[in-house]
Amino acid sequence: MAAEDERVRERSALRMLQGCSFTSSFDRFVVGPLLLTVAAELDVALREAAAAASGYFLLYGLSQPLWGLLSDRLGRVRLLRLTLGLAAVGGVLSAAAPSLTLLVVARALTGACMGAVVPSGLVYVGDAVPYSRRQRTLTDLNAATALGITSATALGGVLAAALSWRVGFLLPALSAAALVAVLRRLPEPPRSALHRGGLGTVLRHRWGLTVLALALVEGSALLGLLAYLSPALESTGATPTAAGAVVALYGVGLLLASRVVKRRAGRTRPAVFLAVGSLGLVVAYTAVAISQEPAVVGPAALLVGAAWAGMHSTMQAWATEVVPEARAVMVSLFAGMLFVGSGVATAALAPWAGDFRWAPVYGTGAGLALAFGIGAVVVRSAYGRPTPVSSPVP
C-alpha cells in the first residue's frame, strides 16, 4: 500500500511538472512563427524584430547559474513558483508592449525567469524519483516539452493570422500564473537530496567544463538556427499559419525519434548518438541553404527534431552525471550555455536573415553542426564511461 501511494504521488507530481515543461517550451518556441508579424505591426525590419528572440535566449541562458545556486537554497518547488510568477508578469508585458524596445525588454525578463523551469524539473526528478524509475519519468516529462514545442510552432502562425501575435505571448503567461497556484500541491524533495557542491565545484571539474563548452556550440548549431525556419518559409510566400504547421514537424520528429533512442540507449554507445544526430543536422541545414520551399523545410524540420532526440539527449544525460555532487548547478549551467549559444547565433545571423539570405544562414548552421559533431564524438569517446540516455530535453 505504501509503494502504491508513492506511485500515486509521483504521477501527481509528474503531471504538474509536465505542465511546467509544456508552458516553458511553448513560450520559448512561439516567437519564431510570430517574428514577421511582429516586424510588420511594429514597423521594424526583421533583423530588428529578431532581438525579441535573441534577447529571450540570451537571458534564458545567462540566468541559469543564478537559478542553479538558488535551487539548493530555496528549494525546487519554491523556485519554480517564484520564477513562473515573474514569467507570467513578463508575458503580460510582452503582450501589451507598444514598441519594439519594450517588447525586447519584456521578452528578456520572461526568458530570464523561464530559464529556471526545465532545469528545476529535471533536478526535482533526480531528487525525488528512484533511479529504477527515473528514465521513464524523464521520458514522460520530455514528451510534454516536445508537445509544447509542436504546439507553439503550429499555433503561433495561426494566432498571428487569426487574432494577434500578442495572444502568442499572453497564453503561456496565463498558463504560468495558473501553475503558480497548482504547484502549491507539489511537495519539496527531502532536504537531504539537496547537493552541497556549488559553482566552484563545477568550475574546477575538467570534464564538467568540457561538457559546458560543447553545450555552447550545440546551442548555436541547434536552437539558433531553429528560430529562422518559419521566417525562411514565410519569405517564399508561405503564410504564418502554413509556416507554423510545417515547422511543427520538428516536434513530431522529436517525439517519434525519442522512442527509438529510448529503446536503443542501452545497446548503443553515446558517441554514436552524437555522430548520427549532428550528421542529421548537417543534412537538414544544407538542404534549407539550397531551398526554402515547404517540400524541403518540412523534412528538414523533421530531421532536426530527430537529431535533437539522439544528440541532445546524450548531452543532457552526460550533464546530469558528470558532476553529481553539484547536479543542480551543473544542469543549470548546461542549459545556460545551450541558450547563450542559441542567442549568440540568432543575433549574429540576423543581418543575413533580415535580407532573406538563407544560404549563408543555413550554410553556417551546417558548419556549426559539423564542428560540434566532430568535437563531441572525440571528447565523449575519450570520457569513456557509459551514460544512460534519457529522452530529449530542449
Per DSSP, helices labelled H in the chain are 2-29, 31-42, 46-49, 51-62, 64-74, 76-96, 100-114, 117-128, 131-162, 165-182, 199-203, 206-226, 229-234, 240-247, 249-264, 270-290, 294-322, 327-354, 358-383
Q: Cβ-count burial of 242 within 10 angstroms (0-12 exposed, 13-18 middle, 19+ buried)? A: middle
pLDDT at residue number 392: 41
User: Which set of grid coordinates corresponds to residue 69?
Assistant: 545556486
Residues 194 and 315 sit within 8 Å (Cβ to Cβ): no
pLDDT at residue number 175: 95
> CATH number for the 2-383 domain, one of 3.30.1180.20, 3.40.50.970, 1.20.1250.20, 3.20.20.70?
1.20.1250.20
Q: Which residues contact 75 (CB under 8 A, 6 or more apart)?
A: 188, 189, 194
pLDDT at residue number 48: 82
pLDDT at residue number 394: 39
pTM (predicted TM-score)? 0.75
The secondary structure of 327-384 as a DSSP string is HHHHHHHHHHHHHHHHHHHHHHHHHHHHTT-HHHHHHHHHHHHHHHHHHHHHHHHHH-
Amino acid at 148: G
| pLDDT per residue of the chain (394 residues) written in tens, 0 to 9 | 455 556 667 678 888 999 999 999 899 888 877 887 888 888 888 878 888 888 888 888 788 778 877 887 788 899 999 999 999 999 999 999 898 889 999 999 999 999 889 888 877 877 777 655 665 666 677 778 878 887 887 787 777 777 888 988 999 999 999 999 999 988 887 655 555 667 788 888 899 999 999 999 999 998 888 878 888 988 888 877 788 778 878 878 888 887 787 777 667 888 898 999 999 999 999 999 999 999 999 999 999 988 887 888 788 778 877 887 887 888 888 887 887 888 788 888 988 988 889 999 999 999 999 999 999 999 999 986 544 444 443 3
